[in-house]
Amino acid sequence: MSSTLDFEITLTERPTPAADREAILADPGWGMHFTDHMITIRYQEGKGWYDARLEPYGPIPMDPASQVLHYSQELFEGLKAYRQADGSIVTFRPYANAARMNRSAQRMAMPQIPEQLFVDALELLVGTDKDWVPGKEGQSLYLRPFMFATTRALGVNRPADEFLFMVIASPSGLYYPRGIKPVSVWLSQDYVRAAPGGTGEAKTGGNYAASFAGQAEAVANGCDQVVWLDAHEHRWVEEVGSMNLIFVYGEGSSARLLTPALNGALLAGITRDSMLKLAPDLGIPVEEGKISIEEWQEGCESGAISEVFGCGTAAIISPVGRAKGTDREWTIGTGEPGPVSMRLREELIGIQYGTKPDPYGWVHKIV
Ligand SMILES: *Cc1c(COP(=O)(O)O)cnc(C)c1O
């Protein structure tokens, strides 16, 4: 491992007994169980990154005046480790996550982390806790790198100069344990997730805090997830929940994809980017553009739009079956998962689990 820092390694004295771990891995759910270890790396202005550790998973002592607790200066990433068909363990495009974390850091006035240090931290944690990478269909070890301001000061005129970077890992099961079911979505007119010039492009917890009221409104209106519209006109479609949106026009050999362009308010998903590269190689042209809710509804009613899906690391692809707003409601396609969505999903999952070739070099072997 060619690290920019040497990690001090302290293994837990109380590892989870194998039988308990196997019981968790049999049905891990999502984001509820954590492996035996975690990574911590500290940063101080002038000193840079230091004190890299692999430690037993556990609570972290924090000063109540830590800036993150008051001003939300934090960011995170999300990616998965997969157990492949031949037994090796891989992650998917980890350098893309490292680069995105640094773009988020730029927006959030936080320090850049060397991409290799980021990937080394993932490799060390996954390598140490490799028995926690589940092996059944659709299972994976979800990796959560994150960083936050630990500077002890309430004054906002002094920028934070101390940060903690961490990685924790959580075994995760099939996102759709009972088969893929299209979600219904609520077009939020009251709440906005992000505006150009704001933090929508950064993967920061504050965007999520700002989205919970909209998500609750979606549920109150009988929908699964919320569709975020643009901040100015509340008309142009941006994202769904915490996923990017892709529209399928046409069918069969004439199918093509349209996805909202990255306009400064959207989060640049790595799954979205992978779809944009994968689809043309499968003969499905892609376009980044704009689509309004009126165009979406008319496209579904005329049959021009055949499928719509959300995409992100957690679910890979989440078909959208119904859309609803205060004054409108419509069905997308047949209301069932469509063939283009399912084909793209199969291809990407095949690369991740090693059952299909990886011409893009996306898979990064750990052990
Ligand atoms: C993380 C995230 C996505 C999906 O990104 P992936 O890299 O594909 O997992 C999309 N939208 C938002 C708001 C996100 O936070």
Per-residue pLDDT 10s for the chain (367 aa) are 445 799 999 999 999 999 999 999 999 999 999 999 999 999 999 999 999 999 999 999 999 999 999 999 999 999 999 999 888 999 999 999 999 999 999 999 999 999 999 999 999 999 999 999 998 888 999 999 999 999 999 988 878 999 999 999 999 998 777 778 899 999 998 899 999 999 999 999 999 999 999 999 999 999 999 999 999 999 999 999 999 999 999 999 999 999 999 999 999 999 999 999 999 999 999 999 999 999 999 999 999 999 999 999 999 999 999 999 999 999 998 878 999 999 999 999 999 999 999 999 999 999 9
Say if residue 212 is in the same domain as residue 131: no
| Residue 11 token pair | 């293994």
Shared domain for 70 and 191, answered yes or no, is no
Ligand 1 pocket check for 193: Cβ under 6 Å: no
Examine the domain organization and report whether 196 and 326 are in the same domain: yes
Inter-axis angle of helices 115-128 and 94-107, nearest 10: 130
Centre of ligand 1 to C-alpha 202, Å, is 10
From the CA of 17, how far away is ligand 1's center (Å)? 34
C-beta of 83 in contact with ligand 1 (< 6 A): no
Which residue bears the tokens 């915490």? 242
Query: Does residue 178 fall inside a structural domain?
Result: no
Work out the angle between the directed axes of helices 270-281 and 339-353 (0-180°, nearest 10).
Answer: 110
Q: Cα–Cα–Cα angle for 64, 70, 76, nearest 5°?
A: 100
Average predicted confidence (pLDDT) for the chain: 95
For residue 133, the tally of other CB atoms under 10 A from its CB is: 23
Is position 177 within any domain?
no
* 187 and 326 within one domain: yes
Phi-psi region of 29 (alpha: psi -120 to 50; beta: other; left: phi over 0): left
* Residue nearest to ligand 1 atom 10, measured at CA: 243
Nearest partner of 249 among 214, 299, 211, judged by Cα: 299
In a domain, 120, yes or no: yes
User: The tokens 């095949």 sit on which residue?
Assistant: 350
Q: What is the pLDDT of residues 18-29, one digit of tens each?
A: 999 999 999 999
Tokens for 249, please give them.
């026009």
Same domain, 33 and 159: yes
pLDDT in tens, 113-163: 999 999 999 999 999 999 999 988 889 999 999 999 999 999 888 789 999
Q: Ligand 1 centre and the CA of 155: distance in Å?
A: 32
Q: Any idea what the CATH number is for the domain that residue 346 is in?
A: 3.20.10.10
Tokens of 271: 């799954």
Structural domain includes residue 92: yes
Residues 127 and 220 in one domain: no
CATH number at residue 14: 3.30.470.10
Q: Are residues 137 and 189 in the same domain?
A: no
Same domain, residue pair 109 and 189: no
The number of folded domains in the chain is: 2
Residue among 75, 142, 144, 79 at smallest CA distance from 112 = 75
Q: Transcribe 223-286 into DSSP letters.
A: -SEEEEE-TTTS-BEEEETTEEEEEEES-GGG-EEEEE---SSS---HHHHHHHHHHHHTT--E
Rounded distance between C-alpha atoms, residue 78 and residue 96, angstroms: 11
Q: Which of 228, 237, 234, 185 is nearest to 207 (CA)?
A: 228
Distance 144 CA to ligand 1 centre (A): 13
- Ligand 1 atom with minimal separation from the 244 CA: 10
> Do 92 and 236 sit in the same domain of this protein?
no
Residue 362 inside a domain? The answer is no
User: Is residue 90 in some structural domain?
Assistant: yes
**Tokens matching residue 93:** 């495009």
pLDDT of residue 334: 87
Q: To the nearest whole percent, how much of the chain has pLDDT over 90?
A: 91
| Pocket lining: 242 vs ligand 1, CB cutoff 6 Å | yes
Beta strands per DSSP E along 118-203: 140-149, 162-172, 183-187
Residue nearest to atom 2 of ligand 1 (CA): 242
Structural domain includes residue 364: no
How far apart CA 131 and CA 22 sit, in angstroms, is 9
Q: Which two tokens stand for residue 224?
A: 């699964």
Residue 137: HSE in the Cβ half-sphere, 13 Å Cα cutoff:
6
Residues 264 and 304 in one domain: yes
Query: CA 220, CA 205: separation in Å to the nearest integer?
Result: 23
**311: CA distance to ligand 1 center in Å?**
8
How high is the pLDDT of residue 1? 44
Domain boundary residue, one of 119, 143, 172: 172
Which residue from 203, 245, 246 has its CB within 8 A of the most atoms of ligand 1, so it is best to mutate? 203
Residue that is last in its domain, among 105, 138, 172: 172
Residue 210 lies in a domain: yes
Q: Is the CB of 312 under 6 A from ligand 1?
A: yes
Whether the CB of 269 sits within 6 Å of ligand 1: yes
Q: Is the pTM of this model over 0.75?
A: yes
Measured between its terminal Cα atoms, the distance across the chain in Å is 12
In terms of domains, do 135 and 230 share one? no
Q: What's the CA-to-centroid distance between 268 and ligand 1, angstroms?
A: 7
Dist. CA 276–CA 284, nearest whole Å = 9
Q: What range does the domain containing 111 cover?
A: 8-172
**Domain end position, chosen among 116, 144, 172:** 172
Question: Do 71 and 46 share a structural domain?
Answer: yes
